[in-house]
Amino acid sequence: MESTATIGKDTVTDTDPKEKVAVLISRVFTSYLSEFLIITRRAKTTFEQRDWRGGKRDAAERLSVYEKVLSQIAVQIEGILGSNATDRQTWIAIKRIFAPLIAGKQNEDIAETFFNSVTRTLLKTVGIDREVEFFHLETKPVAAVLDPPLYRKFDDHRPTSELIRAILVDHQFNARYEDIDRDIELVANEVDMMTWPFVRSGNRYSADILTPCFYRNKVAYIVGRILLGSHIVPMIIPLCNDDSGIHVDSVLLNEADANNVFGFAYSYFHVEVQVPSDLVAFLRTILPHKPVADLYNALGFNRHGKTEFYRDLHRFVHVSKKQFVTAPGREGAVMAVFTLPNYNYVFKVIKDQPCFLRSASITDKTINKTEVKQRYKFVTHRDRVGRLVDTQEFENVRFKAKRYSEQVLHEFEVAARDSVSRHGEYVVISHLYLQRKVTPLPIFFQEENDSAVIRQVVIDFGYFIKDLAATGLFPADLFNTWNYGVTEGNRVVLYDYDDVIPLEHATFRRKPGAMNEYEEMNPEEDWIVAEPTDFFVDEIDSFVGIPYALRGIFNSEHKDLFAMGFWENIKARVAEGEIIDIIAYGRDRRFRRITREA
C-alpha cells in the first residue's frame, strides 16, 4: 500500500525515493530551526541567572547545530538514494518536488539555503548550479508574520520618563533592578536631549521597540527606533546584570553606535524570532548602510548570510564588470589576498607554503595549510568580542579567468596551485576565506588626518589587546601591526589568524639583562634563550607598533600592559573560566561610570 507524508497542506507520496528525500529535507530543516530556537531561548534565563559560562556553552552549541544536522541528513539521504545521492539529475528532480513544499511559507528563503547546503555537501558543486540550487540575484519577498507582533509601538509620553518606564516594563526579567528609577531618568535625559530640536516646535514622536531582547555575552539589548516625522533614529538600551541587580548601562541613539553593536567583529546574538527576514527588515530601517548578509550573520543565521553575500557578489560583479585585484597593503606570507575595486570585502586563499612574491623578503614562518585552517576554525568558534573580523569559508568558487587581473592569476599560479585550478575559461578556487575589508593599522596612521580619530584609535588599540586577552586569545605576532585593521567605526580588529594562540600557551617574562662582559658585547639573540611563545612584557612599549610620537597617549591609558602583574592576572582569570566584561560601545557612553564617579 502506498504511504503518504503531509507537511502543512502538502501531501506527497513516499514511494519515490526523490519524494522521500524532498520531504526529509523539509522536515529536518524544521527540526533544525526548532533546535536553534530552543538554544536561543535559554539566553534570557542565562542573563537572569548570570550563568555566563552556560551562555558560552550555548553559543558554541548553537554554532555547531547546522553542520551537525547537515552531516546527519547526508547519511540519511545516502541510505535512501544509494549511488543516486551524487547524481545531478536526481537532485534537479528533488528540487522540483521540494520547491512547492516550502513555497509561500515562513522562512522560505532560509529553507532554500538549507536545501543548497545539502546539495553542495553531497554533490561538491563547483560554482553555482542553477538547475540544482535555488539562486536569485534579488532577495525574494517572504511571507510576513504579524502574530505575535515583532515590535510594539509606544506613543509620545509626557514626561519622557513614562515612555522609558513603559519600554522597560514591557521587557520583564526574573531578576530585580538595582535602581530602575535612576536608570529611567538617565535614559529619559538622553532621549530628551536628542529629540529636543524636533519637539521644541510642538512636534510629537513615537517609538517602535522590538519585542525580543538581543542577548550576547553578558548584555541584553533592547532594540528599537524613534520616529521623528520621516526621520528614523536607532534606540538601543544595553542592560547589564551583576551582584547588585540589573542596570541600564547606556542608551545609544545614533547609527554609528548601532553599527558598532551590530558589528561584523562580534559573535552572534541570541534573539528569539520566528521569521528572521522580518527582523532583518526592521533592523535595516535603523542600519540602512549595513549589508543584509551582516544582519543575518548577527542573528546567528550565518549560512543564510553567506547566501545573501554570494547574491550580492554576483550582482556586483555583473554590474561593475571590474576585475579582482590584489588587496592594498603589505603582502602576507600565508595568504594570497584579493578584492574588487569599491567592494567592502576581501578574499583570502592559503598559499601552498608561506612565501612572498612581491618582494625579495624571506619569511621564517613554517605553518602549513592544515594548521592555518585549524587556527581559523579555532577563532571562529571563540567569542570574537568585537575584535576578530567575522570570517566565512567558501568552497569551489568559480568565476571566469577574465574576471581576475594578471597579477592575481600569477599569484595563484605560483603560490596557490593546491587551492586554485583552471578549467577552460574558468578559475575554480577549492577553498577561500571571506572577510570584511578594513584599513590596515599602519595605513591608517599614514593617512588619517583627524587628530581626534587618531587619538581614539591609539587608545582603542590598547583595549584591543586587553579584549583579546580577556577572551583567552593572544596574537603571537603581536608587533606585526599589518595584522590589525581599523573599521569604519574606528575600532581596532584582528584579521589575520594564523598567529593567534590560546592565552594559556603564552609565557610572559621580563627581558633578562646582561650578566657578564660576554653578554654585554654580543647580540641578545646569542645569549637570551626564548621559546616562540615567550613574550617580554617590557618590550611591548618599544615594539607595540604605535608611532613613537603617539606613544605618550597610548601609555597614559595602557601602561599596565608593560607590567607582569597585568598578564599574570588576566591569565589566572581566564584559566578560572571567568567571563570578563567587554562592551560594544564607547566607554564614555556608559551611565555606570557617571553614577559611580558621582
Query: For 60-92, what is each residue's pLDDT tens digit?
Result: 999 999 999 999 999 999 999 999 999 999 999
Task: Tell which residue, 593, 52, 70, 471, has the closest CA to residue 303.
Answer: 70
What is the band of 598 on the pLDDT scale with cuts at 50, 70, 90? Answer: very low
- Residues 6 or more apart from 248 whose CB is under 8 A from it? 168, 183, 186, 187, 237, 238, 239, 591
Summary mean pLDDT of the chain: 88
Residue 517: pLDDT over 80: no
Q: Tell me how far apart the alpha carbons of residues 337 and 408 are, in angstroms, rounded to a whole number.
A: 9
pLDDT in the model for residue 145: 47
* Nearest-angstrom CA–CA distance, 577 and 480: 29
pLDDT of 6 strictly over 60:
no
pLDDT at position 242 over 50: yes
**Within 10 A of 83 (CB to CB), how many other CB atoms are there?**
8
What are 163-220's pLDDT values in tens digits?
999 999 999 999 999 999 999 999 999 999 999 999 888 888 999 999 999 999 999 9
Q: Can you say how many angstroms the Cα of residue 378 is from the centroid of all Cα atoms in its chain?
A: 14
Kindly list the domain boundaries of the chain, sorted by start residue: 9-123, 151-316, 322-437, 440-597
Q: How does residue 37 score in pLDDT terms, banded at 50, 70 and 90?
A: very high
Q: Are strands 534-536 and 507-509 parallel, antiparallel or unpaired?
A: parallel
Query: Which string of b and e fits 234-262 if b means at least 16 CB within 10 Å?
Result: bbbbbbbbeeeebbbbbbbbebebbbbbb
- Can you read off the three cell numbers belonging to residue 288? 540602512
238: CB partners within 8 A, 6+ apart: 219, 220, 221, 248, 249, 250, 252, 261, 583, 584, 585
Q: Which of 304, 296, 413 is nearest to 351 (CA)?
A: 413
Cα four-point dihedral sign 128, 131, 133, 138: positive
* Predicted confidence (pLDDT) per residue in 149-162, tens digit: 899 999 876 789 99
% the chain with pLDDT above 90: 63
The arithmetic mean of pLDDT across residues 573-584, rounded, is 86
Cell of 59: 553559543
- SS3 percent helix, strand, coil of the chain, rounded to 5, is 45, 20, 35
Known catalytic residue at 390 = yes
**DSSP labels, 524-565:** GGGT----TTEEEGGGHHHHS-S-GGGHHHHHHHHGGGGSHH
Residue type, 450: D
Are 541 and 566 spatial neighbours (Cβ–Cβ below 8 Å)? no
**Top-confidence residue, 388 or 451:** 451
pLDDT at residue 119 tops 80: yes
Q: Of residues 148 and 524, which shows the higher confidence score?
A: 524
Contact 356, 331 (CB under 8 A): yes
Cα–Cα distance measured from residue 180 to residue 551, given in angstroms and rounded to the nearest whole number: 41
Nearest-CA neighbor of 252 among 488, 581, 489, 586?
586
Alpha carbon of residue 21 to chain centroid: 33
Active-site hit among 58, 109, 278, 390: 390
Q: Whole-prediction pTM value?
A: 0.87
- Maximal CA-CA distance, the chain: 96
